[in-house]
Structure 1
């Protein structure tokens, strides 16, 4: 087993990083991992940290690898946020810690996910440490693309670019990770995840969401009236809120269990009074509310991608490209063929643009339900040709 077994469809990148592990004299101390959502850039950064700290070069089975995977290794810190931006105080704390010597590992490694969420002022706090890291410090920064990072940071990092994983790579990953999936389920999830490993894992562990998605796609294709669009928008909104609450509840429960494990407490036993203040900070009401809001918007964004896939499939049908690229929503093939007759090529393109307009509005703090209603109304096919 190797830490690289977690990486999907990035063989050339893994080979490059493995070469660095084998030849540490070529090791840079500031790295920028970029790739589209779902490509696995944060997972790759963590696995690279494991390989750097592991005495066996990243075997994935030793205690060091296990601790890093659980987030309990003292010399590997991960900064992530559920807020819109990364806080300047959080970055200042990392910079101060980066000047310290490693406590047990070879390096002090700092992973910052979504570095594109830093304001310019926050980035300036980080700049000098990235430009001239302390002798035993390594920075691993992650972002969707190099253009999303300020040039002052980008120019001082070794760039690693990830590709969108192919469906066959995701299917192979699902087969290894979730052996109870049937071959048809594996193929379906790999196809509808559209290169997003996180979404593929989500569907593999929450298979009820496959039915929710199927109903939504069918609803989009079969809309004929404004009332259909309004009802579907409300259903999407309700489902997204329920999923967001479930996601955050599961995350908090996992963090609480990990806290008890780290402190040698039994899962079902109450937390001692001395540790209760720290334990109660996990999942505080106000923080949990912010996380639910963020998760809700992420889910809406994922749903918009699914809706786009309908009109992507229509365009594939219009251009007779089924054999070369295939369709995402294969289960709805008959409905898609009928809708393709109702829409011209330009109308299919207009609907793709309408989805992107709704995405920008929602990302700009629009009212998601109203934006969904307006978008879905524009997707209704013409009554007559």
Structure 2
């Protein structure tokens, strides 16, 4: 399987980066900004590009090299990834990366540093990074990832080469789910449609029936909002589900990291951790770290809920404008209720409710109380 095979619906960008990775190293830009909406695969694109830059075959062969496997697995010594398990990226984390960027690569042509969701970086942290982006060390390449170029400071945009990813089509996502996740065709098609091109969410829907059920219940709940008491109950239920799912996800990740730690250090599942490794091992499952991860994942679940809610009023607008044949509905299973809502809701009211979803998203990003944010949103959505 090629290093690029996990990237869905991005053929044009893949061909562009393939050619660059295989070209003259002296002509390669050293600071990149890879942009794409959530779920488009920007982090996977960064890893694939890094693997192609580091591997002797430049990612052109069908069978991945050992270097490629290491980069994609996150174990290559010259490729560092800063992922966002926290709500924001800390300034100390960036300073550590800057110190690392000055070091010569140990085995590969480049020292590559990937920062996921650079838009989650506070301005003073971005300013610390700016000089390195402007004048990278001779053997270092920075790959920054963000939803769009407008989500990062103009000073970062102007000093990077920007790559824009497309939203994968439903057919491409469904094919990916069938071939790589083993989803049945019917489930794959539904998961692809409901995910609206978000690969990660599509995989979640295709593999976790509880998550799909939670979404179905949310859509029905929003369509049935008539009283403030219903809004309060729905907000409470949504937030309780988000918290529970986040805690489970955080614990699962910690378990995976503990297993990887044991494997990398040649330890079995039941082997005692040597004293010299105990500090690093314990850091994986520290309560504070698990709490931060759970908070981030809870926000991700709630953000996914906002996308699902917005899809209702998107579908209402599609029906009101007679565009169903050309663009289709996302919530086909709720077509009857959505059609009824579209018949009695003015077009302006549907747009106003999309604006209310955007307001709720901004409040969540501003660390607003999730329960209060959704209570206010659901009250505003009643019709």
Report the TM-score, using the length of structure 2 for normalisation: 0.95
1:56 equivalent in structure 2: 57
Which of 340, 358, 366 is equivalent to 1:364?
Answer: 366
Post-superposition offset of 1:84: 3.2
2:97 equivalent in structure 1: 94
Q: What is the distance in 2 between the residues matched to 1:92 and 1:343?
A: 52
For structure 1, which segment, 263-272 or 8-17, has the greater mean C-alpha deviation from structure 2 after superposition?
Answer: 263-272
Residues 136-189 of structure 1 show CA distances to partners (whole Å, capped at 9, x for unaligned) of 11111111111222222222211111111111121121122112x111101100
Post-superposition offset of 1:125: 2.5
SS of corresponding position for 1:142: strand
**Cα distance, 1:64–1:296 mapped onto 2, change above 3 Å:** same
2:41 equivalent in structure 1: 40
Q: What is the distance in 1 between the residues matched to 2:220 and 2:304?
A: 16
Residues 251-270 of structure 1 show CA distances to partners (whole Å, capped at 9, x for unaligned) of 11111111011101112333
Post-superposition offset of 1:278: 1.1
Post-superposition offset of 1:124: 2.9
Whether contact under 8 Å (2:22, 2:53) holds in the other structure is: no
Q: What is the distance in 1 between the residues matched to 2:162 and 2:360?
A: 32
1:19 equivalent in structure 2: 19
Post-superposition offset of 1:108: 0.6
**Cα distance, 1:124–1:373 mapped onto 2, change above 3 Å:** closer
For structure 1, which segment, 68-77 or 91-100, has the greater mean C-alpha deviation from structure 2 after superposition?
Answer: 91-100
Residue 151 (1) aligns with residue 167 (2): no
Q: What is the distance in 2 between the residues matched to 1:126 and 1:344?
A: 48
Residues 193-239 of structure 1 show CA distances to partners (whole Å, capped at 9, x for unaligned) of 01111111222232221111111111111222222222211111111
Q: What is the distance in 2 between the residues matched to 1:150 and 1:334?
A: 44
SS of corresponding position for 1:233: helix
Post-superposition offset of 1:51: 0.8
Post-superposition offset of 1:367: 1.4
2:185 equivalent in structure 1: 183
Q: What is the distance in 1 between the residues matched to 2:139 and 2:263?
A: 29
SS of corresponding position for 1:4: coil
2:7 equivalent in structure 1: 7
Report the TM-score, using the length of structure 1 for normalisation: 0.95
1:378 equivalent in structure 2: 380
Q: What is the distance in 2 between the residues matched to 1:359 and 1:117?
A: 14
Post-superposition offset of 1:274: 2.9
Q: What is the distance in 2 between the residues matched to 1:367 and 1:118?
A: 21
Q: What is the distance in 1 between the residues matched to 2:120 and 2:375?
A: 29
Which of 259, 262, 270 is equivalent to 2:261?
Answer: 259
1:201 equivalent in structure 2: 203
Residues 66-123 of structure 1 show CA distances to partners (whole Å, capped at 9, x for unaligned) of 2112211100001123233322222222122212111111111111112222233322
Alignment length, in residue pairs?
A: 380
Residue 70 (1) aligns with residue 73 (2): yes
Post-superposition offset of 1:127: 2.4
Q: What is the distance in 2 between the residues matched to 1:371 and 1:86?
A: 24
Q: What is the distance in 2 between the residues matched to 1:292 and 1:269?
A: 28
Which of 85, 90, 95 is equivalent to 2:88?
Answer: 85
SS of corresponding position for 1:126: helix
Q: What is the distance in 2 between the residues matched to 1:230 and 1:128?
A: 48
Whether contact under 8 Å (2:118, 2:146) holds in the other structure is: yes
For structure 1, which segment, 279-288 or 110-119, has the greater mean C-alpha deviation from structure 2 after superposition?
Answer: 110-119
Unaligned runs of 5+ in 2: none
Q: What is the distance in 2 between the residues matched to 1:236 and 1:120?
A: 32
Q: Alignment RMSD, CA only?
A: 1.5
1:322 equivalent in structure 2: 324
In the TM superposition, 1:113-124 aligns within 5 A as: 113-124=116-127
Q: Which runs of 4+ in 1 moved over 6 A?
A: none
Q: What is the distance in 2 between the residues matched to 1:61 and 1:214?
A: 40
Q: What is the distance in 1 between the residues matched to 2:36 and 2:240?
A: 31
